[in-house]
Amino acid sequence: MSNVHDYVQDLCLIEGQQYRGDCPTCRGRGTFTANKEDGVVVYNCYKLGCTVRGFNAVGLTVDEIKQRIRSLKEDYYDSETLDPLVWPEYVVDPKPDHTLLKRFVKRWDLETEDIMYDVKDRRAVFPIRKKGIMIDAVGRALDGAVPKWYRYTGNASVYTHVYGKPSGVAVLVEDVISAIVAAKECPGLTGMAILGTSLSTAHIEYLENYYRVIVALDPDATSKAVQFKREIESWTGMKAQALKLEDDLKYKVAEDLERLRSMV
């Protein structure tokens, strides 16, 4: 299959370009396709009986990376016009009789965090601010409701948390609590929750503010963590590392926290 990889490499596709031609293996006429997206060329032969298919991680050229950064900056300036979040009347300051919230806060050691309470859907609500203006919030169900995590406006792509002066190092996690734990355990480190399961160009906008990124996804997403590492390095040119975890960071497994500290 190495000849196919060489063939795809020699196509010199640019980002977003598609190719259709003869298969280099079975010689099928016009049955071979290749498409470059996010620095990866995916190829396939559609001729019956031919098993040629796969991908080449060819990366992005300098010009492609510059173009991506330009688009991210345009998205950033567009986001400056976002309206501030106005709390619904059912999102309130925590009160002593909100027992579900009290148990949740104690369970995850969140007594010092800025948390509101959604009395209608029984959610702990974490505000998201940009330049001091609240633009979004993330709610976490406290009684098994679906969805477990809820976005109130969708205007923010990430939730970030840092204690002290930011060091320029970010740790990429999937949920808000893990971001808070990472920030608490390593002052100066920015815990960054991507609020989902996939990495988008909007996330890259935020990562441009850092010089190094640690990817620390859940243990059952090891392959995804490696994929994120490659995408970040390809898109930004910065150094990224994948942290192998025994459990989610929010569970504070001693070995995981020690590995994280050693990488900061």
**Tell me, what's the pLDDT at 45?**
86
Residue spans per domain, the chain: 2-59, 62-81+157-264, 83-154
What CA–CA distance (Å, rounded) separates 241 from 171? 9
Q: Which CATH architecture has domain 62-81+157-264?
A: 3-Layer(aba) Sandwich (3.40)
pLDDT digits (tens, 9 = 90+) for 98-112: 999 999 999 999 998
**Tell me, what's the pLDDT at 249?**
94
Of 240, 148, 259, nearest to 197 (Cα)? Answer: 148
DSSP state of 15: T
46 touches 57 (CB < 8 A): no
Are both 2-59 and 62-81+157-264 of the same fold? Answer: no
- pTM here is 0.68
**Tell me, what's the pLDDT at 82?**
61
Domain at 2-59: CATH code: 2.20.25
* Contacts (Cβ under 8 Å, ≥6 apart) of 159: 126, 128, 138, 176, 179, 192, 193, 195
Average pLDDT of the segment spanning 150-179: 92
Nearest 5°: phi and psi at 263? Answer: -95, -15
